[in-house]
């Protein structure tokens, strides 16, 4: 740090005193250089309110900008790879962008990590105490996991019981919250959330805010906040005015009025080719960062997916066909919500293992049917066919990761693999946290099989392994994508091999066919599935759509019931590809974190 004294015309006031305008000026040729510890961080840690708080933090931010260095104070407290483009992004956001930015990196480059770095840096410097992360429902728990595992930040979520039991206390008293944006925008919750100002708000999947008249845009705009990050890989879908709406959330008045913006920059005949492009780029460069895999130097190896179909015997196939007919009839007699719950559970369990299916039947509300099904079921042959291929796969270099949704399936697999002489490690939500990393380390060193459920993967990155098996198939495509993302991520050096095990002719087989053939799920970069499904399908909506189509299918024509869904996914995929091309044309390499 230079010892040169800045040429101050007015000495800075105590940062804890109210200010209405900057209290000092610099001569044009001199840069203010003040060591960060000289400024009383404890003053920023107090509880402030209203304009006074805004001005204090704003002034602290301005002082920090003038004293920028190439260091992030939070790095010793972060468990992340120090990727240069992510560190540059965090420095730029906390520096010249003053904590308000549109992060539009290409999918898969880690916008969550960049936002986490910014948040952790502000917390480390005492400039943030209270923060809110808003995302789509399916990513709430994943955000909690990322902040905890990478930045040691323990936030509460809107998925937790304490939110449902006392939402008023939750919104008013918690200092770190990760919430569903769909829940947050409801009038009751928005009123509670806005009761106290937030130091920092992060909105993931911010393309949901592109429409200025939407409830989500209005809710975020109404929220008192100091710093704001908007994360989306696709800031523009239909016109430049969507980008205008996002920028207006970040910095009202940064762009000219809507009428003037349209006059100067929007060509109605060519809406994706702005007028005055250089001027527009200059304005957007003051609020937007977009890293690409090319400029970040990130190249991931290929993925190869293989569907392993196994054929049941004729008697076994006959039993399952009869079971589905009887189940469909039994569910039609139930309340729709109850029917959906039991239908989804039993159908997914049947596609997993006999153990999972039998366990699910134990509390089925028609015990007479459950008893008859258990008595007539032919289960052993299908289990033998499905599980017998696994031991050979585990003996390859790097071992094998096996995913399942059901604890009963996991337990049955562990027994079968151990009997076959395979070294086996089991991770699920019941595994003590202190033991989890040890199991992963042992698997990495010794190979064999690592059996995982969704909750067992929390905080576990497995890029040292390159083979995974989907022993059963979640009905949420994003959950399948998240499984793959544990292995196919930065640091992976081998082609990732994915094996999907399904019985031919079943609901799971038809679902896999459309996910692979129409959505091209296994060719997508991790993170793109949610962008394709968009607002049409959240994870719960997609699962419900699968169940509805199965329930209403004509007898023995489940494939026909899924055809129109496949066509819809194909159109969504084509629309996403067009959006990507347009974004690349608009932004190119003008917004890198250089």
Is the model's pLDDT at 464 over the cut of 70?
yes
Distance, CA of 413 to CA of 471 (rounded, Å)? 10
Same domain flag for 254 and 240: yes
Domain at 316, CATH number: 3.40.50.300
Question: What pTM was estimated for this model as a whole?
Answer: 0.73
Give the per-residue SS3 of 308-369.
EEECCCHHHHHHHHHHHHHHHHHHHCCCHHHHHHHHHHHHHHHCCCHHHHHHHHCCCCCHHH
pLDDT value at residue 58: 59
Can you tell me the mean pLDDT for 318-326?
A: 92
Same domain flag for 13 and 135: no
Same domain flag for 355 and 475: yes
pLDDT value at residue 31: 34
Q: Please give the structure tokens belonging to residue 470.
A: 């989907």
Is the model's pLDDT at 60 over the cut of 90?
no
Is the model's pLDDT at 378 over the cut of 80?
yes
Last residue of a domain, one of 264, 298, 332: 298
Same domain flag for 175 and 60: no
Task: Quote the mean pLDDT of the chain.
Answer: 83
pLDDT value at residue 540: 66
Same domain flag for 402 and 490: yes
Hunting for tokens 């409801």 — which residue is that?
186
Question: Between 27 and 461, where is the model more confident?
Answer: 461
pLDDT value at residue 242: 85
φ, ψ of residue 102 in degrees (nearest 5): -105, 110
Question: Would residue 471 count as lying in a domain?
Answer: yes
Q: Can you give the residue range of the structural domain that contains 398? A: 303-503
Q: What percent of the chain has pLDDT over 70?
A: 84
pLDDT in tens, 153-180: 999 999 999 898 999 999 999 999 999 9
Q: Please give the structure tokens belonging to residue 89.
A: 């992004």
Same domain flag for 232 and 116: yes
- pLDDT-based confidence at residue 453 (cuts at 50, 70, 90): very high
Question: Would residue 164 count as lying in a domain?
Answer: yes
Question: Would residue 122 count as lying in a domain?
Answer: yes
Question: Would residue 15 count as lying in a domain?
Answer: yes
- pLDDT-based confidence at residue 56 (cuts at 50, 70, 90): low
Domain at 267, CATH number: 3.40.50.10810
Q: What is the DSSP letter of 311?
A: P
pLDDT in tens, 563-590: 888 988 998 888 888 877 777 766 766 6
| Domain count within the chain | 3
- pLDDT-based confidence at residue 306 (cuts at 50, 70, 90): very high
pLDDT value at residue 505: 84
Which whole-number Å values give the CA distances from 277 to 264, 285, 286, 290, in the listed order? 10, 12, 15, 17
Distance, CA of 575 to CA of 507 (rounded, Å)? 27
Same domain flag for 293 and 235: yes
Last residue of a domain, one of 257, 278, 298: 298
Same domain flag for 281 and 343: no
pLDDT in tens, 102-153: 999 888 888 999 999 999 999 999 999 999 999 988 789 889 989 999 999 9
Question: Would residue 341 count as lying in a domain?
Answer: yes
Question: Would residue 573 count as lying in a domain?
Answer: no
Can you tell me the mean pLDDT for 449-476?
A: 87
Question: Would residue 530 count as lying in a domain?
Answer: no
Same domain flag for 283 and 340: no
Same domain flag for 406 and 321: yes
Same domain flag for 277 and 371: no
Same domain flag for 273 and 141: yes
Distance, CA of 437 to CA of 200 (rounded, Å)? 32
């Amino acid at each position: 740090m230079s010892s040169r004294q800045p040429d101050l015309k007015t000495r800075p006031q105590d940062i804890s005193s109210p200010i209405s305008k900057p209290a000092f000026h610099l001569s044009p040729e001199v840069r203010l250089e003040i060591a960060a510890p000289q400024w009383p961080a404890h003053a920023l840690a107090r509880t402030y309110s209203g304009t006074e708080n805004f001005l204090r933090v704003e002034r602290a931010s301005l002082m920090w900008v003038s004293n920028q260095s190439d260091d992030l104070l939070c790095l010793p407290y972060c468990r992340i790879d120090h990727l240069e483009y992510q560190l540059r992004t965090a420095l730029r956001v906390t520096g010249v962008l003053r904590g308000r930015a549109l992060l539009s990196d290409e999918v898969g480059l880690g916008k969550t990590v960049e936002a986490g770095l910014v948040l952790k840096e502000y917390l480390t410097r005492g400039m943030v105490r209270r923060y809110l992360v808003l995302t789509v429902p399916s990513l709430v728990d994943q955000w909690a996991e990322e902040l905890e595992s990478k930045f040691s930040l323990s936030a509460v979520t809107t998925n937790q019981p304490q939110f449902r039991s006392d939402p008023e206390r939750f919104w008013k008293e918690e200092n770190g919250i990760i919430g569903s944006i769909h829940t947050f925008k409801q009038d009751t919750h928005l009123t509670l959330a806005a009761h106290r100002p937030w130091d920092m708000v992060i909105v993931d999947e911010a393309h949901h805010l592109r429409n200025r008249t939407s409830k989500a845009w209005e809710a975020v705009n109404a929220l008192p906040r100091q710093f704001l990050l908007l994360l989306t890989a696709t800031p523009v879908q239909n016109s430049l005015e969507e980008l205008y709406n996002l920028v207006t959330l970040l910095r009202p008045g940064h762009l000219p009025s809507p009428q003037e913006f349209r006059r100067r920059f929007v060509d109605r005949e060519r809406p994706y080719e702005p007028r005055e492009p250089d001027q527009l780029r200059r304005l957007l460069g003051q609020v937007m960062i977009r890293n690409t895999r090319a400029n970040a130097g990130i190249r991931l190896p290929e993925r190869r997916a293989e569907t392993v179909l196994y054929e049941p015997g004729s008697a076994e196939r006959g039993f399952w066909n009869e079971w589905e007919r009887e189940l469909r009839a039994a569910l039609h007699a139930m309340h729709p919500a109850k029917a959906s719950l039991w239908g989804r559970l039993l159908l997914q369990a049947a596609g997993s293992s006999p153990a999972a299916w039998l366990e699910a039947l134990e509390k089925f509300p028609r015990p007479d049917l459950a008893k008859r099904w258990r008595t007539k079921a032919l289960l052993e042959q299908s289990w033998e066919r499905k599980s017998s291929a696994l031991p050979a796969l585990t003996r390859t270099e790097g071992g094998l990761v096996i995913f399942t949704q059901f604890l009963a399936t996991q337990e049955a697999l562990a027994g079968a693999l151990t009997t076959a002489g395979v070294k086996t490690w089991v991770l699920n939500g019941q595994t003590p946290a202190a033991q989890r990393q040890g199991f992963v380390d042992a698997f990495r060193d010794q190979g064999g099989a690592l059996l995982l459920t969704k909750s067992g993967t929390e905080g576990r990155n497995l890029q040292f392994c390159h083979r995974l098996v989907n022993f059963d198939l979640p009905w949420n495509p994003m959950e399948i994508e998240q499984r793959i993302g544990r292995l196919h991520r930065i640091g992976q050096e081998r082609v990732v091999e994915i094996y999907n095990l399904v019985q031919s002719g079943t609901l799971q087989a038809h679902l896999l066919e459309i996910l692979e053939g129409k959505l091209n799920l296994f060719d997508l970069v991790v993170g793109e599935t949610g962008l394709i499904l968009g607002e049409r399908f959240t994870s719960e909506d997609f699962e419900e759509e699968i169940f509805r189509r199965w329930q209403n299918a004509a007898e023995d024509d489940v494939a026909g019931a899924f055809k129109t869904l496949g066509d819809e996914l194909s159109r969504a995929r084509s629309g996403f590809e067009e959006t990507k091309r347009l974004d690349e044309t608009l932004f190119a390499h003008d917004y890198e974190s250089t």
